[in-house]
Structures are given as C-alpha cells and as structure tokens.
C-alpha cells in the first residue's frame, strides 16, 4: 500500500503531460549533474484528459517511442501525478515511534484523513525529523492517491518498456528542480528565504506552486494553458489543430498574429497568474512574492516575462534547470535548452533517483 516514496539508485524521469511524454536521464558525480539522455514525444489528442490517462495504449506507444529515441539504457522510471489527485496531510507523531509503528498507526487512523475506501487508494508517508535532537515530536507527511490513477500510469509505462519505480507529486518535482534553477556557482541556492511563485503553464492547465521556506509548496491548478492559443490560431487562420500547433512553435503566421492573437493570449495569461496569486494571498499570511518563475511549454513565449513583471510589479524569469549541467554528446543541446522550461517535472523526477 505504501508506494509514493520508494527509492532506487537511478531512475529515468518521465513526465506524462496532456500533449507529450518528456523523458530525462541524469547522472551525478561529485555533486555535479550531467544530462545523459532526453526526449520528447507527442501524445495523440485526448489520450490524456485533465491529467488522467484515457487511452493507455496510445500513451504506452508514445513512451515506447521516446524510450527508443532517447536511447536510454535505464529501465526503472519515475512518474508524477497531479497535486489535485493527491490528498496530503502533515501529522505530528511521537519521535520515539519506529517507522513500523508509525506505519501501523497511520493504517489504523487512515479513514480519518482519506475520504475513499482504503482498498481504492495507494498511500505512503515520509518522516520529517526536526533539527532539534531533543524534540519529542516528528512531522509525518501522509500522501494518498486513487489507485486507478497510479495503475493506469504503471500499465502505460510497462507497455513502453519501462519498470515503474517511483510515483511522485508534480509540485514536489518542480520544487526539487528549483534547486537547480536557483543554484549559484557553489551549487547552492542563492537566497533560501525568498518567496518564489512558480507558474507551470501546460497545454490545458496552469499550476501555481509557491515556495515559502516550508517543506510543502502551496499549489493551485486552473484550467488554462497553451491550447487556448493553438485553438485561436486554428480558428483565425483556418488551419488544422496540428498545423496551428506547428505554426505556433515554428512561426510563419500573418503579420496581425502578434497584435490580434498572441497579445490577447498573453494578457489573459497575466490575468490568470494574478488571480492565482490573489488566491494564495487570501489563504496565507503572505501578501507578496519576491519572484515569479515561469515553467511549461508556454514559458518561453516572447515578451511574456516582461509583461508579467510590468503588470504585477514582480521580477519574472524563465526556468532552466540545466544551466550549470554538462550535457552528453548524444543529447541535442539546442533542443534540450529550448525545452528546458517544460522539463521541470521530468528533472525533479530524475533527481529523485540520485543520491545527493
């Protein structure tokens, strides 16, 4: 039953998003990371619906293609589930309890925290001990997810030729990858006390994760993403959905695209970010953030960081966890850097399997 926090010496990070599977393999030597393999493969439309796998065979086939394309030799893989599909609860328990006793107590009390029949969920926990050796209490993070969400991912991975080893939570993966985005020359974060808002803009969903110096990020998801722009391009210029997606990425659209299509989309996105931040402020003791970091496929949209900075009055940057990494010769560095903002979840998963 306890599955979320399994560890293996090396796992490939595989992010299954609504439009693509993104694979990343890292190695580590003397504290420095190296990208060993990487690949992105498109998933057929509607194979993923609201971050749930609707067509396991189609997703499995895409995973097989990205495995072949990346040429990774690692069979063990880690994937993540959306925060909205996971129930988390932080509990205080006696520090004198053994791990087995904590597990037994959680199983006995699980129905107090989990609103589903226990045979329908997968659960796990992490013990977070205080820095104070005299503390009589420890924090225990309990996580639970509907088993069907995990089993569909496991089945797709096995169809793709992988062995599932780690199931994580997307926001936690992004939080882990932020260590690399913020790393200075010494490999450590430049400012651990900053309040950082990470806005992960996917195809259909935008996720706000705010790092406040606590172990768990605040997260909020809303249905808005790059698909809105693709559909507007499709409608305005009479293109197929695939043609619109290609034109959005490669360019070549009419002169009015910037003013009539792209700018209204960016303005709508800024409104979404502002609304998400207001929800965060209203539900926490904070009334500001120090920095906004954009992740996801839309993050590199020209002019977006500047627009957000000017509208919200907060510095904004695009996430790149690979800036200090070495890159294997078999990896297309230009493609990796172009995809960097969209690889935060895959990066956090790949980091999970390495002993830091």
Phi/psi of residue 333, each to 5°? Answer: -65, -40
Q: Are 170 and 345 in contact (CB under 8 A)?
A: yes
pLDDT value for 6: 47
What number is the average pLDDT over the span 83-112?
88
Distance CA 270, CA 309 (A): 10
pTM higher than 0.85: yes
135-150 tens-digit pLDDT: 888 888 888 888 888 9
- CATH fold, domain 188-321, is Nucleotidyltransferase; domain 5 (3.30.420)
Distance CA 292, CA 282 (A): 18
pLDDT value for 178: 92
pLDDT value for 329: 93
Kindly indicate the confidence band of residue 267, based on its pLDDT and cuts at 50, 70 and 90: very high
What number is the average pLDDT over the span 158-162?
96
Class level of CATH domain 1-185+324-356: alpha beta
Among 9-23, 45-59, 148-162, 342-356, whose mean pLDDT is lowest?
Answer: 342-356
3-state helix, strand, coil in the chain (%, to 5): 40, 30, 35
Higher pLDDT, 352 or 313: 313
What number is the average pLDDT over the span 104-131?
84
- Compute the mean pLDDT over every residue in the chain, rounded to the nearest whole number: 88
Q: For residue 76, count other CB atoms closer than 10 A to its CB.
A: 17
Higher pLDDT, 3 or 49: 49
pLDDT value for 5: 46
pLDDT value for 187: 45
Q: How far from 87 is each of 2, 82, 116, 281, 333, CA to CA, in Å?
A: 14, 10, 10, 22, 37
208-234 tens-digit pLDDT: 999 987 667 888 999 999 999 999 999
27-37 tens-digit pLDDT: 988 778 999 99
pLDDT at 184 over 60: no
Kindly indicate the confidence band of residue 117, based on its pLDDT and cuts at 50, 70 and 90: confident
What number is the average pLDDT over the span 96-119?
87
Percentage of the chain modeled with pLDDT above 90: 59
Q: What is the largest CA-CA distance in the chain?
A: 68
Phi/psi of residue 303, each to 5°? Answer: 80, -5
Q: Report domain extents, the chain.
A: 1-185+324-356, 188-321
Same topology for domains 1-185+324-356 and 188-321, yes or no? Answer: yes
What burial class does residue 355 get, using C-beta atoms within 10 Å of its C-beta: 0-12 exposed, 13-18 middle, 19+ buried? exposed
Q: Residues, the chain, total?
A: 356
What burial class does residue 235 get, using C-beta atoms within 10 Å of its C-beta: 0-12 exposed, 13-18 middle, 19+ buried? exposed
């Amino acid at each position: 039953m306890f599955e979320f926090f399994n560890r293996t010496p090396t796992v490939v990070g595989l992010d299954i998003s609504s439009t693509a599977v993104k694979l990343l393999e890292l190695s580590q030597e003397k504290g420095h990371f190296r990208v060993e393999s990487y690949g992105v493969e498109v998933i057929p439309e509607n194979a993923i619906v609201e971050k749930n796998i609707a067509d396991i065979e189609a997703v499995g086939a895409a995973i097989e293609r990205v495995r072949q394309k990346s040429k990774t030799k690692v069979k063990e893989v880690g994937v993540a589930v959306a925060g909205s599909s996971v129930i988390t609860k932080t509990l205080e328990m006696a520090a004198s309890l053994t791990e087995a006793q904590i597990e037994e107590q959680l199983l006995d009390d699980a129905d107090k925290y989990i609103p589903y029949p226990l045979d329908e969920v997968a659960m796990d926990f992490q013990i977070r001990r205080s820095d104070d050796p005299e503390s009589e209490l420890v924090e225990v993070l309990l996580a639970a997810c509907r088993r069907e969400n995990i089993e569909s991912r496991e089945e797709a991975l096995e169809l793709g030729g992988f062995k599932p080893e780690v199931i994580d939570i997307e926001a936690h993966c992004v939080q882990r990858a932020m260590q690399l985005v913020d790393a200075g020359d010494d490999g450590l974060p430049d400012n651990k006390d900053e309040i950082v808002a990470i806005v992960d803009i996917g195809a259909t969903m935008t996720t706000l994760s705010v790092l406040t110096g606590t172990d768990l990020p605040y997260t909020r998801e809303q249905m808005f993403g790059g698909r809105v722009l693709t559909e507007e391009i499709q409608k305005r210029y009479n293109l197929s959905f695939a043609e619109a997606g290609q034109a959005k990425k490669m360019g070549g659209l009419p002169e009015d695209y910037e003013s009539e299509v792209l700018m209204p989309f960016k303005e709508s996105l800024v409104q979404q970010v502002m609304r998400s931040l207001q929800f965060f402020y209203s539900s926490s003791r904070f009334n500001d953030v120090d920095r906004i970091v954009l992740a996801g496929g839309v993050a590199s949209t020209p002019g977006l960081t500047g627009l957000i900075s000017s509208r919200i009055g907060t510095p904004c940057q695009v996430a790149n966890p690979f800036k200090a990494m070495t890159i294997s010769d078999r990896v297309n560095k230009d493609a990796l850097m172009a995809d960097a903002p969209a690889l935060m979840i895959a990066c956090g998963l790949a980091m999970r399997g390495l002993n830091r």
